[in-house]
Amino acid sequence: MIDDITPFLPLSPASLHILLSLASEDRHGYGIMQEVARQSEGQYKLGPGTLYDNIQKLMTNGLVEESSRAFANEDPRRKYYHLSSFGKRVLSAEVGRLDAVVQEARLHLRSPRRAI
Amino acid sequence: MIRTLYRCLVWLHPPAFRREFGAEMKWIFDRARHERGPKTLLADACGSLARQWLLRTGWWKVAAAMALAVLQVTVGGLAMTMLGRHEVAQLAAPMAMFHAPLKHAPVTAEILVFGTAVLVGCLVLMVLVLVSSLNRITRRRRLCSNYAR
């Protein structure tokens, strides 16, 4: 099992949004696309090619797994994806990193230093 | 028409990717084409196609090697042209046995075929050498990054 999360940070915007959309529940590809658009208030829209390229990378690195969840009435082409425990750790670390960046930015924007 | 074009673009992806995600991509296209617009989805599929073949399958090495080989041949050809006939004859003196009959003889189909074969052979050789060196570099970098982890 991989323990070191540092090689995965910082996450690309697409990977961050995919992991965030899977944090609350398992979703299929189209569900992830819709959730990403909702989270970003329509400012960031993933296309299927970009989505599956990122999902492929995340699955290879063990951050996302294919879920066994399936419904009787659903299209068999639909596959559900699930955030692994390692993926949760990477996402938490990335959110912490972004939080530090935002705090630092707020601090500097509030009291800008004057150049001497 | 656009649906068929999108299906063709999906079909052109590397087989492993297509098997894993192709059906879902087509399903999403059917669902999202009115919401996102077919042009956006087609552009995304083109980007994905280039990314999958060039970056994920390692074919970028062949493309880079091919570009370098073509550059070498072009630069070489231009240099020879700029040097002029006299200098070329002097440079090619050690190869006089090949040069002499070509100098006065008209350009025949055999000569063209021979020249093309030599050029293609040189290109293939250069591409192979460059791909193997790129492989060695990327392997070394991967080993270093694994060691660093």
**Each residue of A60-108: pLDDT tens digit?**
999 999 887 666 667 777 889 999 999 999 999 999 999 999 999 998 8
Query: pTM here?
Result: 0.66
Q: Which residues of B11-23 are buried (b: 16+ CB within 10 A; e: fewer)?
A: eebeeebeebbbb
| CB within 8 Å: A52 and B29 | no
pLDDT value at residue B96 = 60
| CB within 8 Å: A53 and B44 | no
Domain final position from B16, B33, B56: B56
> Looking at residues B72-87, what average pLDDT do you find?
73
State the CB neighbour count (10 A cutoff) for residue A95. Answer: 15
Residues A78 and B21 sit within 8 Å (Cβ to Cβ): no
Containing domain of residue A45, as a range? 12-110
> Looking at residues A48-55, what average pLDDT do you find?
93
Residues B11 and B37 in one domain: yes
Number of domains in chain B: 2
Rounded to two decimals, the ipTM of the complex is 0.77
List the single best residue of B21, B52, B145 to mutate versus A (max A Cβ within 10 A): B21
Residues B44 and B64 in one domain: no
pLDDT per residue as tens digits for the range B54-63: 888 777 777 7
Residues B17 and B79 in one domain: no
Q: Is residue A3 in some structural domain?
A: no
pLDDT per residue as tens digits for the range B81-93: 776 666 666 666 6
Q: Is residue A35 in some structural domain?
A: yes
B102 vs A109, more confident:
A109
Residues B103 and B117 in one domain: yes
Q: Is residue A38 in some structural domain?
A: yes
Q: In chain B, positions 81-140, which contact chain A (CB-CB < 8 Å)?
A: none
Containing domain of residue B13, as a range? 2-56
Partners of B23 on chain A (C-beta within 8 Å) are 77
Tell me how far apart the alpha carbons of residues A63 and A84 are, in angstroms, rounded to a whole number: 5
Look at the block and give the residue holding tokens 């189909």: B109
Q: Do strands A27-28 and A80-83 pair parallel, antiparallel, or not at all (unpaired)?
A: antiparallel
| CB within 8 Å: A48 and B47 | no
Instruction: Categorise residue A27: left if φ over 0, alpha if ψ from -120 to 50, beta otherwise.
Output: beta
Residues B17 and B64 in one domain: no
Partners of B15 on chain A (C-beta within 8 Å) are none
Q: Is residue A1 in some structural domain?
A: no
Residues B33 and B87 in one domain: no
Tell me how far apart the alpha carbons of residues B70 and B123 are, in angstroms, rounded to a whole number: 7
> Looking at residues B38-54, what average pLDDT do you find?
90
Residues B39 and B103 in one domain: no
State the CB neighbour count (10 A cutoff) for residue B138. Answer: 13
Residues B93 and B120 in one domain: yes
Residues B48 and B73 in one domain: no
Of residues A4, A29, A45, nearest to B36 (C-beta): A45
Tell me how far apart the alpha carbons of residues B146 and B139 are, in angstroms, rounded to a whole number: 10
B107 vs A10, more confident:
A10
DSSP string, B58-123: SHHHHHHHHHHHHHHHHHHHHHHHHH-HHHHHHHTGGGHHHHHHHHHS---HHHHHHHHHHHHHHH
Residues B64 and B135 in one domain: yes
Q: What does residue A83 show for φ and ψ, rounded to 5 degrees?
A: -80, 120
Number of domains in chain A: 1
Q: Does B36 touch chain A (CB under 8 A)?
A: yes
Three-state SS letters, B122-136: HHHHHHHHHHHHHHH
> Looking at residues B107-130, what average pLDDT do you find?
80
Q: Is residue A4 in some structural domain?
A: no
User: What are the tokens at B109?
Assistant: 């189909």
Biggest CA–CA distance in chain A, Å, is 69
